[in-house]
Chains A and B, each alone.
Chain A
Amino acid sequence: MSTATAHQTAGPFWHLIDFPEWSDLLREDGPNAGIAGERITLQGTVTDGDGALVTDAMIEIWHADPEGRYDGAFQGFGRCGTDAGGRFRFTTLKPGPVPGRGNTLQAPHVQIAIFARGLLRHLTTRLYFADDPLNESDPLLALVPVERRCTMIATPVIPGTWQLDIRLQGGAETVFLEV
């Protein structure tokens, strides 16, 4: 037995491993070219405890394919830096419901990891899709106080484009997760 290595901040200069095309999971020369499904855009802003835009964060997403599987051809991984407006934006396929523990079913969701200067360890949250009937019975959402669930539920701004803003700290602080 050994102990897991300590996390350290990604710092402000992580962009040396930023490959901007990775924010488009459906890019022509990427691993998912030609895979069918409902094309969606996921976008949002990241702000700090003062409401200031976080313009140097690395956002990663990880999610299942349209059938709710992780072991198929689809690679639901993306990486995107926040821009001068604190914004991130991904293009991908909408995930399907994923089996949960026991006989449960998880509502469609996207795992989000946030790395930045000032984060000694990365933060993890989830994006759910507003109005999905499975949200009502999602086992993870059930663990979140009702009044804070909205911080994990993306809303459609136009059809196919879902918005979820991330607040690292403060009044409407995003719910962060630990497994």
Chain B
Amino acid sequence: MVRMTDPTPYARAVPGSQPPLDSPDYGSTHRRAPKQEPIRAPVTLTEASSPRFALPSHADLSVVDGHAAMGERIIVAGRVLDERGAPLRGSMVEIWQANSAGRYHHARDQHDAPLDPHFSGQGRVFTDDEGWYRFTTIRPGAYPWRNHHNAWRPTHIHFSLFGHGFAQRLVTQMYFPGDPLLALDPIFLATADEAARDRLIGKFDLDITRPEFALGYRFDITLRGEAATPFEEGRA
């Protein structure tokens, strides 16, 4: 067998920068969060490799069959980088979201808000050579959930990302600036570090805004990178 170079370990999470699995204020974690500590394993080819997708892009969620979706059209764009600032090229970025009324095009969403036949709420693009992605969509509405009395999710767009290794897989959410629900949301607040939470909020950006068309929001995404120092290396 040909000897391969061992993959470089990935950096561990900065303390406080990631949500815990068990979060008392988020009820669904109570019976779903594992109680045992994970087994820490050294990175192998399995974690350091990732699928290569050959799929069509769908960058404009704001029009279906030539009909404009209801609501405020927006552009959401940003770069996908690793922790060392290197752009991830050709990475698949998927998004899904509620419509402008706060209703998902989903059979199990029973929120009493109108569905929009011209909005499905699903998008997919691939990053360019500088790591940029860009979607045109509709600003989603807030929606209620049953976590606690009078619970409402802040306005958000779900994001799914693949890096160069399956260990970089990331599913996250982009929030919107100035949303009063952020201060009340157990999912957003589960991440202890305020700066880490702030990075989940898209920033209004006049350079992404297109005149006479749509406001723009910038949302950069950082995937975990290679360990910077030997101290961060996975244990062998």
Contact of A7 among B53, B121, B172 (CB under 8 A): B172
A65 to B126 Cα, complex, angstroms: 25
Q: Whose C-beta in chain A lies nearest to the C-beta of B200? A: A6
A126 to B39 Cα, complex, angstroms: 11
Contact of B32 among A54, A62, A140 (CB under 8 A): A54
Q: Whose C-beta in chain A lies nearest to the C-beta of B96? A: A16
A48 to B27 Cα, complex, angstroms: 13
Contact A179 to B19, CB < 8 A, known contacts A8-B173, A71-B49: no
User: A-B pairs with CB below 8 Å: how many?
Assistant: 220
Report A118-162 CB contacts with B as 1/0, cut-off 8 Å: 111111101000000000000110011000000000000000000
Contact of A118 among B11, B33, B47, B97 (CB under 8 A): B33
A115 to B32 Cα, complex, angstroms: 11
Contact of A168 among B10, B34, B169 (CB under 8 A): B34
Q: Whose C-beta in chain A lies nearest to the C-beta of B51? A: A77
Binding site secondary structure of chain A = loop
Kindly name the residue among B31, B35, B96, B122 whose own CB sees the greatest number of chain A CB atoms within 10 A: B31
A residues in contact with B34, CB < 8 Å: 123, 168-169, 173-174, 176
B residues in contact with A116, CB < 8 Å: 32
**Do A168 and B33 touch across chains, with their CB atoms under 8 A apart?**
yes
Partner-contacting stretch, out of A37-45, A86-94, A96-104:
A96-104
- Cβ of A10 within 8 Å of any chain B Cβ, yes or no, is yes
A residues in contact with B97, CB < 8 Å: 16
Contact A179 to B10, CB < 8 A, known contacts A119-B21, A168-B32: yes
- Cβ of B187 within 8 Å of any chain A Cβ, yes or no, is yes
Q: Within B30-47, which residues are at the interface with A (CB < 8 Å)?
A: 30-36, 38-47
- Cβ of B89 within 8 Å of any chain A Cβ, yes or no, is no
Q: Whose C-beta in chain A lies nearest to the C-beta of B221? A: A5
Report A1-35 CB contacts with B as 1/0, cut-off 8 Å: 11111111111111111000000000000010000
- Cβ of B127 within 8 Å of any chain A Cβ, yes or no, is no
A144 to B228 Cα, complex, angstroms: 27
A63 to B50 Cα, complex, angstroms: 9
B residues in contact with A85, CB < 8 Å: none
Q: Whose C-beta in chain A lies nearest to the C-beta of B14? A: A3
**Do A31 and B54 touch across chains, with their CB atoms under 8 A apart?**
yes
A50 to B190 Cα, complex, angstroms: 23
Q: Which 8 A-B residue pairs are closest in the complex by CB-CB distance?
A: A118-B28, A77-B51, A118-B32, A16-B96, A70-B49, A120-B19, A8-B173, A178-B38
